[in-house]
């Protein structure tokens, strides 16, 4: 599988500020990474697909201008939560897919970033 | 979009007991994945299933891909305290090969 790291592991910020979360694939070059969000006691929900060298694609209902994604290299994707508000407080988790033939059969997740917006 | 119904929502069992949970979908899946998530951490992949009828084991864990391709189950034999956590089924169905997750089964083990 892939080893995935995230930084920071937790962050507390004031309402209106922006927060950047990094996702790194430590042992696998990933042209695609995924970003998920998990609210307390709920399941993971896909937010967006991060594509190296091209724009990210966002799921319905996810604001692309609020959640900026940059896939800077084959090992790094960043998610920036702009003008954060308390309702953005959540657990943000990235994943690296591994598969063949264009089909991503297995995804390996980072440890997550806990965002708390005051 | 595709939905996954996972049951039971929670289980309270005694250490040493066997556990069974299942997942059904409203449409056909080509892949079933089972993950375990501990509090404050990301999900960890337990078992991946690729063929209808496939039965795969990983230690005390066994999972099967239903013949109809619309369901899967996960069994844990002889549960131990470290099995505590939330178990999720998942399959491709999110955008661009992202995953759709079930709501999870919260496993609690009583000593």
DSSP secondary structure string for all residues of A29-57: --SEEEEEEE-TTS-EEEEEEEETTS--E
B42–chain A nearest CA distance, Å: 4
Q: Averaged over A53-77, what is the pLDDT?
A: 94
Structure-block tokens of residue B101? 């997750």
Q: Is the pLDDT of residue A101 over 70?
A: no
- Please tell me which residue of chain A has the smallest CA distance to B10: A41
3-class secondary-structure state, position A88:
helix
Collect the ranges in chain B with pLDDT lower than 50: none
Pick among B23, B25, B30, B43 to test the A interface (most A CBs inside 10 A): B43
Higher-pLDDT residue of A2 and B55 is B55
Q: Is the pLDDT of residue A19 over 50?
A: yes
Give yes or no for a contact between B10 and B105, defined as CB atoms under 8 angstroms apart.
Answer: yes
Residues of chain A contacting B43 with CB distance shorter than 8 Å? 44, 93, 109
Who among A1, A6, A46 is closest to B98 (CB)? A46
First to last CA, chain B: 40
Residues of chain A contacting B108 with CB distance shorter than 8 Å? none
Predicted pLDDT of residue B40: 94
User: What is the DSSP-derived secondary structure letter of residue B9?
Assistant: S
Q: Is the pLDDT of residue A99 over 80?
A: no
3-class secondary-structure state, position B15:
coil
Rounded Cα distance between A77 and A31, Å, is: 10
B80–chain A nearest CA distance, Å: 23
Predicted pLDDT of residue B30: 86
Q: Which residues pair with A96 in a beta bridge?
A: A108
Predicted pLDDT of residue A103: 53
Pick among B4, B94, B100 to test the A interface (most A CBs inside 10 A): B94
Q: Averaged over A28-52, what is the pLDDT?
A: 94
Q: Averaged over A100-116, what is the pLDDT?
A: 81
A50–chain B nearest CA distance, Å: 10
Q: Averaged over A80-103, what is the pLDDT?
A: 87
Predicted pLDDT of residue A118: 97
Q: Averaged over A66-84, what is the pLDDT?
A: 96
Structure-block tokens of residue A48? 């967006």
Averaged pLDDT score across all residues of chain A? 93
Predicted pLDDT of residue B109: 92
Pick among A4, A5, A10, A46 to test the B interface (most B CBs inside 10 A): A46
Residues of chain B contacting A103 with CB distance shorter than 8 Å? 92, 97
Q: Averaged over A63-76, what is the pLDDT?
A: 94
Q: Is the pLDDT of residue A89 over 80?
A: yes
Q: Could you tell me the CA-to-CA distances from A16 to A19, A59, B14 in Å, in that order?
A: 10, 23, 47
Higher-pLDDT residue of B71 and A2 is B71
- Please tell me which residue of chain A has the smallest CA distance to B99: A46
């Amino acid at each position: 599988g892939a080893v995935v790291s995230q930084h920071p592991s937790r962050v507390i910020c004031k309402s209106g500020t922006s927060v950047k979360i990094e996702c790194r694939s430590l042992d696998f070059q990933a042209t695609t990474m995924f970003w998920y969000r998990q609210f307390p006691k709920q399941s993971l929900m896909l937010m967006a697909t991060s594509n190296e060298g091209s724009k990210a694609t966002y799921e319905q209902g996810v604001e692309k201008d609020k959640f900026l994604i940059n896939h800077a290299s084959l090992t790094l994707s960043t998610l920036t939560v702009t003008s954060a508000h308390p309702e953005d407080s959540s657990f943000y988790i990235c994943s690296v897919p591994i598969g063949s033939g264009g089909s991503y059969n297995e995804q390996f997740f980072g440890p997550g970033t806990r965002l708390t917006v005051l | 979009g595709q939905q996954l119904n996972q049951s039971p929502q929670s289980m309270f069992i005694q250490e040493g007991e066997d556990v069974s949970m299942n997942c059904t979908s409203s449409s056909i899946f080509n892949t079933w994945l089972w993950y375990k998530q501990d509090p404050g951490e990301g999900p960890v992949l337990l078992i991946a299933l690729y063929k209808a009828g496939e039965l795969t084991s990983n230690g005390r864990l066994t999972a099967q891909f239903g013949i109809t391709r619309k369901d899967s189950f996960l069994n844990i034999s002889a549960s131990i305290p470290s099995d505590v956590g939330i178990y999720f089924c998942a399959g491709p169905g999110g955008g661009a090969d992202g995953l759709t997750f079930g709501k999870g089964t919260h496993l609690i083990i009583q000593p």
